[in-house]
Amino acid sequence: MTDGAAPSFANGRGALMTSDGWLSGTQSVGFDANDGSGVQEATVLLDGKTVAQHSARCDFTQRSPCPQATVNETFPTAGLGADGDHVVVLRATDAAGNAATVSRTVHIDNTPPDAPSALTVDGGDGWRQTNSFDVHWTAPAPQAAAPIAAASWQLCPTGATTGCVKGTQAGADITSLTGLRVPAPGAWTLSVWLVDAAGNQDQRLAAPPVTLRFDDTSPVVALEPLSADDPTLITAPATDSGSGIAGGTISIRRMGSTTWTALPTTVDGGALAARLDDEHLADGTYELQAVAQDAAGNQRAATTFTGGQPAQITLPLRLKTRLRAGVVQRSGHHVRLVRAAYAGYGRLVRVRGRLTTPEGNPMQGVPVQAYSRVRDATSPPRLIATVTTSKTGRFSFLVRRGPSRSIQIRYAGAAQIRSATQQVILNVRAATSIRPDRHSFVNGETVRFTGRVRTGRIPEKGKLVALEVLVRGRWRTFATTHASRRGRWRYDYRFDGTRGLQQYRFRAALPREAGYPFAAGGSRIVRVRVRGV
């Protein structure tokens, strides 16, 4: 008997036979081979190397010496060598020695992707109220084998190793996760690693983790009743189970008003605290409100005391005080105190005052402080005196020479005594010298006036000097010039209209200017004789 036909293949099965994608790990291959004389040998080759071979027992005395062949094999693809394309060959040989082959290319990758880099939370890793996070990263350099097909992630409570959850999001060359949610409010640590198209992944190749912080619960806050020992101190304990207290304000409004006024508020140990400035508030009933905010931006307002009653207070809370003060001015034997006074440059000025209750009872032995501030819109206040009231509640201090100043006189008060402040304005007149080069001239000659501004603090651009002459009983400006930064100035004036013998009176005036902390002032009067035609 003769057989000239090669075996045929049927029922190819297993990923190595059916998949066109990337494969990894242990994979299978299977097929059936049929022939009229039977199949003597069935072989599987990978890259030309025999990895499976089935030989049948044949009885050549029979019409069909060999049985039909069925092959089912599994083997690890890692043994194939480098990642990439490999060739699978199926071979079947019948009893007559006729052979048939089938081959196909398969894609093998057993190496997990490298770690992503620069894992970042969009919007930063701070606390937020919404349970939705977007993260992105930079993909590793492309590999020669399977491309990136998905990203796996793990969320664990920060500082814990239990309670973790995992997930995977598919995406070709994926570089971000959107809408990621944490299981519960709190801080969670996120790790991300990549999965390739062959299914390879290794959590140890995760990017450096980031933290996701979620808190949607508002703080708990309430105002404490005022203490009789310190009635102007307002406190509001606040707690937050999530992100923690980050800030808040305590506000006040007069009963019947719709506008809240925020007080300077601090947060210490989770409690809000503010000091009520009752010195500048009118007597009456006021409402209080505390607003606490956590690090995620959740906030809650309270308008009741911890006992549940409305947070209302009635002013005055402390004993009132009355402060009177001013610059001492004498007129003969009469002495009075003025709150705004003028003084010549270089003079010592005495300020006096008295501190009493509204009923006139003196407040004895309490400190009063004075702060001076130069009137140039830039200098900060400076403490110039601290005095103690006498038995009659009086005090006094000297203000030394200098520029125009505002003087704030303040009694700081005590826990149960209201503070008091008085403002005094001291205007210091600018001063300059003036001198003609001669005192006698003939009409047509030129006089040179020179002088020096003695009050200092001259601006960069210099100081305006106005030259004045007395005409028909009135001072009239006939010229202006500027003093240098060192205060020196000069001006030349030519006499051209004088008839007969005239005696003129001249002076230099220093007008007030922005940035120059002195009131308007000037010089002494000088006389010049001029003989005309």
Final residue before a domain boundary, out of 315, 333, 368: 315
The amino acid at 360: G
CATH assignment of the domain containing 334: 2.60.40.10
Whether residue 514 is contained in a domain is answered as yes
Whether residue 1 is contained in a domain is answered as no
Residue 91 and residue 129 in one domain:
no
Burial class (CB in 10 A: 0-12, 13-18, 19+), 408: middle
Final residue before a domain boundary, out of 196, 214, 232: 214
Convert the pLDDT of each residue in 449-497 to its tens digit.
999 999 988 988 999 999 999 999 999 999 999 999 999 999 999 999 8
Residue 436 Cα to chain centre, angstroms: 63
Query: What pLDDT score was predicted for residue 1?
Result: 55
Contact 111, 201 (CB under 8 A): no
Cis peptide before 316 (omega within 30 of 0): yes
Q: Which of 299, 254, 301 is nearest to 276 (CA)?
A: 254
Final residue before a domain boundary, out of 269, 297, 315: 315
In this structure, the dihedral spanned by the alpha carbons of residues 288, 292, 298 and 300, taken in order and rounded to 10 degrees, is -30
Q: What six digits make up the tokens of 409?
A: 């006189």
Whether residue 491 is contained in a domain is answered as yes
Convert the pLDDT of each residue in 313-372 to its tens digit.
999 999 999 999 999 988 877 889 999 999 989 889 999 999 999 999 999 999 999 999
Residue 470 and residue 527 in one domain:
yes
Convert the pLDDT of each residue in 484-528 to its tens digit.
999 999 999 999 988 899 999 999 999 999 889 999 999 999 999
CA distance 433 to 436: 11
Residue 328 and residue 425 in one domain:
yes
Number of neighbours of residue 431 by Cβ within 10 angstroms: 20
Residue 39 Cα to chain centre, angstroms: 81
CA distance 242 to 294: 8
CA distance 133 to 213: 9
Query: What pLDDT score was predicted for residue 186?
Result: 94
The secondary structure of 419-462 as a DSSP string is -EEEEEEEEEEEEB--EES-SEEETT-EEEEEEEB-S----TT-
Q: For residues 398-420, give the mean pLDDT.
A: 94
CA distance 194 to 168: 9
Overall domain count for the chain: 5
Inter-CA distances, 129 with 133, 182, 216, 241, 302, Å: 11, 12, 5, 14, 21
Convert the pLDDT of each residue in 167-218 to its tens digit.
999 999 999 999 999 999 999 999 999 999 999 999 999 999 999 999 999 9
State which residues form the domain around 100: 8-108
Q: Which of 514, 478, 512, 508 is nearest to 495 (CA)?
A: 478
Convert the pLDDT of each residue in 241-250 to its tens digit.
899 999 999 9
Element (H, E) at 155: strand 148-157
Q: Which of 381, 443, 429, 387 is nearest to 408 (CA)?
A: 381
Query: What pLDDT score was predicted for residue 194?
Result: 97
Query: What pLDDT score was predicted for residue 379?
Result: 85
Query: What pLDDT score was predicted for residue 430?
Result: 95
Residue 331 and residue 417 in one domain:
yes
Given a cut of 70, whether residue 2 has pLDDT beyond it is no
pTM, entire model: 0.67
Extract the runs of DSSP E, i.e. beta strands, from 158-270: 165-170, 176-180, 186-196, 210-214, 220-221, 233-239, 245-254, 261-263, 265-268
Residue 327 and residue 425 in one domain:
yes
Residue located via tokens 């009741």: 304
Given a cut of 80, whether residue 4 has pLDDT beyond it is no
Convert the pLDDT of each residue in 105-130 to its tens digit.
999 999 999 999 999 999 999 999 99
Query: What pLDDT score was predicted for residue 128?
Result: 95
CATH assignment of the domain containing 505: 2.60.40.1930
Query: What pLDDT score was predicted for residue 3?
Result: 66
Q: How many Å is the maximal CA-CA distance in the chain?
A: 168
Convert the pLDDT of each residue in 157-178 to its tens digit.
999 989 999 999 999 999 999 9
